Amino acid sequence: MTPRSWAARFGPLLLIAATAVVVAGCLGPAASLPPGVTAAPTPTPPAGIPLTPAPLNPDPFSLLSWLFTPLFQAFFITLVVLDRLTGNIAIAIILLTLIIKVLLIPVFRRQLVSTRRMQLIAPELKEVQRRYKGDRMKQQQATAQLYKERGVSPLGCLPIVLQMFLLIPLYSVFSQGLQNFNVQPMMEVFGFTIVNLGCDTTPIFGPNNTVLNPCLNPSAFGVNWGVPEVFIGSPGALFSGLSLLAIISSLVQLVASRMTLPAASAPGADDQNVRMQRQMAIFLPFISLIYGSILPAGLFLYWIGSTVFSIVQQYLILGWGGMFPIFGWTPRFAVDHQPRFPVASPTLPPPTGSRASGTPAQPKPDRTARDRSASAQATIRQRGRQGRRGRRR
């Protein structure tokens, strides 16, 4: 299984597992109330307890919370500063998304380049698999040698995992930071107060034990970005409601996932793995619909903005990729489209003998995927003939 297909299959499962861990961690035992705070009705909701940095305890959830506390504080403090500058929490979330994506441009570009190079050497990789069919050890050795010769890293899916794990602290930022009545302790870094929010010292509880006086205003454009927002059904459980933001998130993820696939006319596009990836690219984005009723709206806003930013990056490096045709239709602007920053085809390194003779090695022109496949087949036939001649002798 190639790294690309591995990421396509198991990436969403990692996201599901990470989200489940976060939710379980947030549902852990409540901390004790600090002195001077009036006790709230039992049980006390998390938003009714001052939000403080997670202590280091031996249980796994506390350890996970402690490890992600620095990231949580960095994201939360940035969000608070942007909210104070703009006066709108939704705009602050979008700006926070842009900051994170700009910082991740080198990582994401490396992933896109690796993805494109894997697509370019797909015919050669397929020929290696055909040549050593039935011998997994030799197949793995030949594949590793091919990656080394072409300068392709098979670990291009790691940035995807990194972006998924960023959702863990961001989930807490939106679900806890935007609903808690006193988040001032999270604004303290090494004894210094970054921003004085002037939060209330006592929570005010409303119906269903909700907190009516969050320190930050979580609402903008008629949406409370700290809680799930659904227009059909009710929030609170899987499949209990349908979110408009989840639908938009699924659609933009569908575009982004199809753009990372090779074009339908590219060599090797009819490969079984590629066909399976196309099917997964249609199905997996709509997993977001399942979580629309339990994840806060702010997390979906972040994910939509992040995916749109990724689509722009993919357009500049990969072009439209496998986005078209759709139901057999390809728009005119997508025909023979070339990306703004195309990825060069990986070539073999220059021979060492030219360096020893003192003659500068001439760079070989980039070969098409069909040429590389024909060359690989000719080499295999030549080795086969030599082997047969040896046996005759």
Cis peptide leading into 50, omega within 30 of 0?
no
Buried b (16+ CB within 10 A) or exposed e, 99-133: ebbeebeeebbebbbbbbbbbbbbbbbbbbeebbe
Share of the chain above pLDDT 90, in %: 37
| Residue 70 located in a structural domain | yes
Q: What whole-number distance in Å separates Cα of residue 176 and Cα of residue 199?
A: 14
Bridge partner list, 242? 232
Task: Kindly give the pairing relationship between strand 232-233 and strand 241-242.
Answer: antiparallel
Q: What whole-number distance in Å separates Cα of residue 114 and Cα of residue 129?
A: 20
Q: Residue 232, exposed/middle/buried by CB under 10 A (0-12, 13-18, 19+)?
A: exposed
Q: What whole-number distance in Å separates Cα of residue 233 and Cα of residue 69?
A: 34
Question: What separation in angstroms does the CA of 73 have from each of 28, 89, 185, 374?
Answer: 20, 17, 10, 55
Q: Three-state DSSP class for 188?
A: strand
For residues 356-373, average pLDDT: 49
| Residue 391 located in a structural domain | no
Look at the block and give the residue holding tokens 């929490």.
Answer: 89
Q: What whole-number distance in Å separates Cα of residue 46 and Cα of residue 77?
A: 20
Non-local (6+) Cβ contacts of 339 within 8 A are 315, 316, 317, 318, 319
DSSP per position, 88-121: -HHHHHHHHHHHHHHHTHHHHHHHHHHHHHHHHT
**Per-residue pLDDT tens over the stretch 256-285:** 999 988 887 776 666 777 778 888 888 889
pTM exceeds 0.85: no
| Residue 310 located in a structural domain | yes
Q: What whole-number distance in Å separates Cα of residue 367 and Cα of residue 153?
A: 20
Whether the Cβ atoms of residue 249 and residue 304 lie closer than 8 Å to each other: yes
Give the number of domains in the chain: 1
Q: Residue 26's closest CA among 56, 4, 2, 54?
A: 54
What does the mean pLDDT of the chain come to? Answer: 79
DSSP assigned state of 281: H
Token pair for 361: 């090695």
| Residue 258 located in a structural domain | yes
Given a cut of 90, whether residue 336 has pLDDT beyond it is no
Non-local (6+) Cβ contacts of 259 within 8 A are 311, 314, 315, 318, 319, 320, 321, 322, 323
**Per-residue pLDDT tens over the stretch 246-258:** 999 999 999 999 9
> What is residue 4's predicted lDDT score, i.e. its pLDDT?
38
For residues 212-239, average pLDDT: 92
| Residue 345 located in a structural domain | no
214: confidence class by pLDDT, cuts 50, 70, 90: very high
Token pair for 75: 């994201």
| Residue 221 located in a structural domain | yes
Whether the Cβ atoms of residue 251 and residue 212 lie closer than 8 Å to each other: no
305: confidence class by pLDDT, cuts 50, 70, 90: very high
| Residue 88 located in a structural domain | yes
**Per-residue pLDDT tens over the stretch 95-117:** 999 999 999 998 888 888 888 88
**Per-residue pLDDT tens over the stretch 172-212:** 999 999 999 999 999 999 889 999 999 999 999 988 888 99
Whether the Cβ atoms of residue 206 and residue 212 lie closer than 8 Å to each other: yes
Parent domain of 223: 3-27+43-334
